[in-house]
A and B are shown apart, each in its own frame.
Chain A
Amino acid sequence: MSLLASETDNAAVPRLAAGKPGLSIGWIAGFALPVMVAALWEGAVSAGLANGRLLPPPSRIGATLWELARSGELATHAAATLWRVAAGFALGAVVGTVLGALSGASELLRRLMDPTLQALRAIPSIAWVPLFILWLGIFEASKVALIAVGVFFPVYLGVAAALAGIDRKIIEVGRVFRLGRVAMIRRVTLPAILPAWVTALRTGLGLGFMFVVAAEFMGASEGLGYLLVDGQQLGRPDRILAAIIAFAVLGKLADGLLVFVTRPLLSWQDVSRNRM
């Protein structure tokens, strides 16, 4: 999640890494600190200055990861987690988009829905867990529901805000060309809110990865979150860290995929705005 968040911040810095030379330097600079810290820790443990029991050196985490990957465990857990995130994301994104669109399009609907949804948003989402378990059982449905709740709010808010904030001047151009309701939506409204929608989806996806951990904490027999709990119970920090790394990589890949599939739709924006 932190990885995803820092990614969003990067996007706000214009053109820092846009040019070719700047790109490679920025790339290397970004890696310098973690690599240095990892190397120092590795050296300290192998020189016997630290035992690395609570914080295993990178080599041991790497070995654990490799072991998990080779035995197929990693794939099983990753697949379980990804499936949950995908299902929850799809559900939350669709419902969030639809309700956000309704709320942004109609003042009446906004007055009807928005206060309730804002109140629900104030509830820490994890507080829903017991209720979801009662309603949906301890298996997949309650987990997917929790993730969907996490994804829903940023998507709903993003779409509603984008529609409310759409430039009236550009709508007027559509009116001058006498676009009907449908044509106005297709030719003006949708393209105008697309960037904000993609941003909302990316935020939602990030939250989806955050919530899948919580969902898998509440009793799962597989999934990267289960791997975390398992590592804690077995006293294996290397497994915990391996799972965390797997989370980071999956989150980054999923975000990258989202950016990749939406990029053709947003090619008209500044290139640097939408960098990976």
Chain B
Amino acid sequence: MLSIDALSKTYADGVVALDELSLRVGDGEIVALVGGSGCGKTTLLRLIAGLDRASAGQIRLDDQTINGPSANVGVIFQEPRLFPWLTIEDNVAFGLNQLSAFEREGLVANALTRVGLSGHGGRWPRELSGGQQQRAAIARALITRPRLLIMDEPFSALDPTTRASLHRHLLSLWDESRPTMLLVTHDVEEAVTLADRIIVMQPNPGRVFETFPNLLARPRVRLGSGFETLSRQILTSLDQSLKPGMPKAAPAGTADAAWW
């Protein structure tokens, strides 16, 4: 279980990016974070990844305090961030250094198949499309079987079709070891498709605004009425999170305002 307690982050320039944020994510749960620009989503993920230090508060993963990068935490960034000097295979195997070449090969071949890249292992990153590169990045993050996978807008640079296929690949890989996943997205449909729980954050300072459990059965169809209703609720909440002074009742239909 990932437990975040009263986590605060104030940057050197005085910006309060996170203010006493608390959050629990259960084992194997998929949680999506949505929220307007600048509400501290990236800040939160970087703290969990151990790439930055919190000003106050605590992050624990199964009762181990996180204060630096951990083998139990995998990260997928917005960009693939593959090493251009390594082949796709070697990129995917980057975190498997301690294993024998034989073990590595087997794991890499399986991971590449899972993300639909078998046959591409020997190619250079520059020879792959953006979507293929991001799939390799997903494989690289999941091959070490982290207990927690955090993703900061991992599909935002991709077109809708590619995005949908990456959702399937991600869920397929996730199914192997069922890590806890924390995903930041600007795409409410993506959040509803993937997550068991959607958390709306508010800016200035960054806090949890509202939480939506997602009980829809998988695989989730965009056209189902439950999908539609939940998406609308989240969009409404997003709107309100950006103008906290406003009353909470927004008529349905006006929800898809430009909150981002």
A residues whose Cβ falls under 8 Å from a Cβ of B: 169-170, 172-173, 175-178, 187-188, 191-192, 194, 268-270
Complex CA distance for A170 and B94, rounded to whole angstroms: 13
Distance of A271 from chain B, by nearest CB (Å): 11
Number of A-B contacts (CB under 8 A): 43
- The reply to whether A169 and B83 form a contact with Cβ atoms under 8 Å apart is no
Nearest opposing residue in chain A for B80, CB measure: A173
Most chain-A Cβ atoms within 10 A of its Cβ — which of B68, B69, B70?
B69
Q: Which stretch in B71-79, B155-163, B228-236, B239-247 binds the other chain?
A: B71-79
Distance of B84 from chain A, by nearest CB (Å): 6
Does B124 interact with chain A (Cβ within 8 Å)? yes
Nearest opposing residue in chain B for A194, CB measure: B85
- The reply to whether A170 and B85 form a contact with Cβ atoms under 8 Å apart is no
Does B130 interact with chain A (Cβ within 8 Å)? no
Inter-chain contacts of B71 with A (CB < 8 A): 178
Does B51 interact with chain A (Cβ within 8 Å)? yes
Does B126 interact with chain A (Cβ within 8 Å)? yes
Q: List 23 A-B contacts (CB under 8 A).
A: A169-B77, A169-B79, A172-B77, A172-B81, A173-B81, A175-B50, A175-B69, A176-B51, A176-B74, A176-B75, A177-B69, A177-B95, A178-B69, A178-B70, A187-B94, A188-B83, A192-B85, A194-B85, A268-B85, A268-B86, A268-B124, A269-B84, A270-B126
A-B pairs, 4 with minimum CB distance: A191-B85, A268-B85, A176-B75, A177-B95
Contacts A176-B49, A191-B85, A268-B124 known; list 5 others, CB within 8 Å: A176-B69, A191-B86, A192-B85, A268-B87, A268-B126
Inter-chain contacts of B49 with A (CB < 8 A): 176
Inter-chain contacts of A178 with B (CB < 8 A): 68-71
Nearest opposing residue in chain B for A177, CB measure: B95
Complex CA distance for A172 and B75, rounded to whole angstroms: 10
Inter-chain contacts of A170 with B (CB < 8 A): 81, 83
- The reply to whether B51 and A175 form a contact with Cβ atoms under 8 Å apart is yes
Tell me whether A172 and B51 are in contact in the complex, defined as CB-CB below 8 angstroms, given that A178-B71, A191-B85, A268-B124 are known contacts.
Answer: yes
Contact pattern, B 44-68, Cβ under 8 Å of A = 1, otherwise 0: 0000011100000000000000001
Nearest opposing residue in chain B for A192, CB measure: B85
Nearest opposing residue in chain A for B78, CB measure: A169
Inter-chain contacts of A187 with B (CB < 8 A): 94
Inter-chain contacts of B75 with A (CB < 8 A): 176
Inter-chain contacts of B86 with A (CB < 8 A): 191, 268
Tell me whether A173 and B69 are in contact in the complex, defined as CB-CB below 8 angstroms, given that A268-B124, A270-B126 are known contacts.
Answer: no
Distance of B222 from chain A, by nearest CB (Å): 32
Inter-chain contacts of B51 with A (CB < 8 A): 172, 175-176
- The reply to whether A177 and B94 form a contact with Cβ atoms under 8 Å apart is yes
Inter-chain contacts of A173 with B (CB < 8 A): 77, 81, 83, 94
Complex CA distance for A270 and B126, rounded to whole angstroms: 8
Nearest opposing residue in chain A for B77, CB measure: A169
Inter-chain contacts of B50 with A (CB < 8 A): 175
- The reply to whether A191 and B94 form a contact with Cβ atoms under 8 Å apart is no
Distance of B165 from chain A, by nearest CB (Å): 24
Complex CA distance for A172 and B69, rounded to whole angstroms: 10
Q: Which of B117-152 contact A (CB under 8 A)?
A: 124, 126
Distance of A28 from chain B, by nearest CB (Å): 31
Complex CA distance for A170 and B84, rounded to whole angstroms: 10
Nearest opposing residue in chain A for B87, CB measure: A268
Complex CA distance for A79 and B71, rounded to whole angstroms: 56
- The reply to whether B83 and A191 form a contact with Cβ atoms under 8 Å apart is yes
Complex CA distance for A268 and B95, rounded to whole angstroms: 20
Complex CA distance for A268 and B123, rounded to whole angstroms: 9
- The reply to whether A169 and B124 form a contact with Cβ atoms under 8 Å apart is no
Complex CA distance for A176 and B149, rounded to whole angstroms: 12
Most chain-A Cβ atoms within 10 A of its Cβ — which of B68, B74, B81, B86?
B81
Inter-chain contacts of B79 with A (CB < 8 A): 169
Complex CA distance for A170 and B137, rounded to whole angstroms: 12
Complex CA distance for A191 and B94, rounded to whole angstroms: 14
Inter-chain contacts of A194 with B (CB < 8 A): 85
Nearest opposing residue in chain B for A183, CB measure: B97
Distance of B48 from chain A, by nearest CB (Å): 11
Inter-chain contacts of A177 with B (CB < 8 A): 69, 94-95
Nearest opposing residue in chain B for A167, CB measure: B81
Inter-chain contacts of B94 with A (CB < 8 A): 173, 177, 187
Nearest opposing residue in chain B for A266, CB measure: B85
Inter-chain contacts of B124 with A (CB < 8 A): 268
Q: Which of B92-133 contact A (CB under 8 A)?
A: 94-95, 124, 126
Tell me whether A169 and B85 are in contact in the complex, defined as CB-CB below 8 angstroms, given that A177-B94, A178-B69 are known contacts.
Answer: no
Inter-chain contacts of B77 with A (CB < 8 A): 169, 172-173
Distance of A184 from chain B, by nearest CB (Å): 12
